[in-house]
Amino acid sequence: MGPKRGRGDATAGQPGDGDPASECQQGPPAAYPGPVPEPDLAPGPPAAGAGAGAGATAVPLVEPRWGIGDAIAGWLMAQFGGLVMFSLVAGVSGKEFDDWSLGLVALAQTGLWAGLLGAPYLAGRLKGNGMVRDFGLREAPRDVLPDVLNGGFWGLFSQWVLIPLLYVPVLLLTDLDSDDLSEAARELTDRASGPFSVVMLVLIVGIGAPIFEELFYRGLVLRAVERRFGTVWAVIGSGVFFGVSHINQPLQMPALAVFGIVLGVLTVRNGRLGPAIAAHMAFNMATVVVLLT
């Protein structure tokens, strides 16, 4: 996440060793079975009449029927859910947004997050093989540490090196300064006035937003575009869509689009969402720590 209001948002090596710049190559639209190689058959319930020691039957993977239309519908559903919850919280609390506690902000976010989670869940459940197989929502114990290190590196690199370089021309050619770029995030972190509110801030920005946004943008959106137009356009398109979705933060949109592309490359390279989620968490928390201190 770049700095934003009410949103949540490897070691560098040789090509082929986790370097996003080396992994995004053009190719034909990806053929199923999905983001990572999977067995052709999935275990199913025991066959009728099978004994206690009998093996499980095999359930073939199905060709997914979800696509770009499901991603668009899911995005609209998430925006509608966010608007409904925002209105409910505002109406019940009777407060202006600027006076909301972080607890109220977190509550209002649940409508948006429900849509971001519900869209890939329903698409995988009703039109595919589920979120794990179709969208890479998997994390084996042996992958946790590599994904944290790999994603954490690229999240911090993007926040502290890539994004500042991107905005050098903007700062040189306009009257904007770094305070203008971080204003949206500062408005959120300024609400953290005690231990409870700091915990809520971490839950919103550092945990909730990265998980739900990655599941939707690098899960459903990226894979839907990939099936239709190929990997390169999927990485670029999902990244740009991620940036544009933060339209309430116009100054941060270019940075978030570029970071979205980095997250897309991580997802395609590793075949699962773990590294992208870790990178997103590191990216967001780097901003939170700087602004709180």
- pLDDT tens-digit readout, 153-203: 999 999 999 999 999 999 999 998 888 888 888 888 999 988 999 999 999
Q: How far apart are CA 257 and CA 274, in angstroms?
A: 19
Q: Is 245 a member of any domain?
A: yes
Q: How far apart are CA 186 and CA 205, in angstroms?
A: 12
Q: How far apart are CA 278 and CA 239, in angstroms?
A: 16
pLDDT band at 101 (very low <50, low <70, confident <90, very high): very high
Number of domain units in the chain = 1
pLDDT band at 60 (very low <50, low <70, confident <90, very high): confident
- Tell me how long the chain is: 293
**Could you list the residue range(s) of the whole structural domain that residue 228 is in?**
65-292
Q: Is 211 a member of any domain?
A: yes
Q: Is 51 a member of any domain?
A: no
Q: Contact, 152 vs 222, CB < 8 A?
A: no
Q: How far apart are CA 118 and CA 5, in angstroms?
A: 23
Name the CA radius of gyration of the chain, rounded: 20
Mean per-residue pLDDT, 274-285: 98
> What is the reported pLDDT for 9?
52
Mean per-residue pLDDT, 113-128: 97
Q: Is 108 a member of any domain?
A: yes
Sign of CA dihedral 172, 178, 180, 182: positive
Q: Is 274 a member of any domain?
A: yes
DSSP state of 57: E
> Can you read off the two tokens belonging to residue 73?
């519908």
Q: How far apart are CA 206 and CA 287, in angstroms?
A: 10
Q: Is 13 a member of any domain?
A: no
Q: Is 247 a member of any domain?
A: yes
pLDDT in tens, 32-57: 445 544 444 444 444 444 444 444 45
Q: Is 48 a member of any domain?
A: no
Judged against a pLDDT cut of 90, whether residue 276 lies above it is answered with: yes
pLDDT in tens, 210-222: 999 999 999 999 9
Instruction: Please count the other Cβ atoms lying within 10 Å of the Cβ belonging to residue 51.
Output: 6
Q: Contact, 258 vs 239, CB < 8 A?
A: yes
Helix runs in 128-214, H state only: 131-135, 141-157, 163-173, 178-181, 183-189, 195-201, 209-214
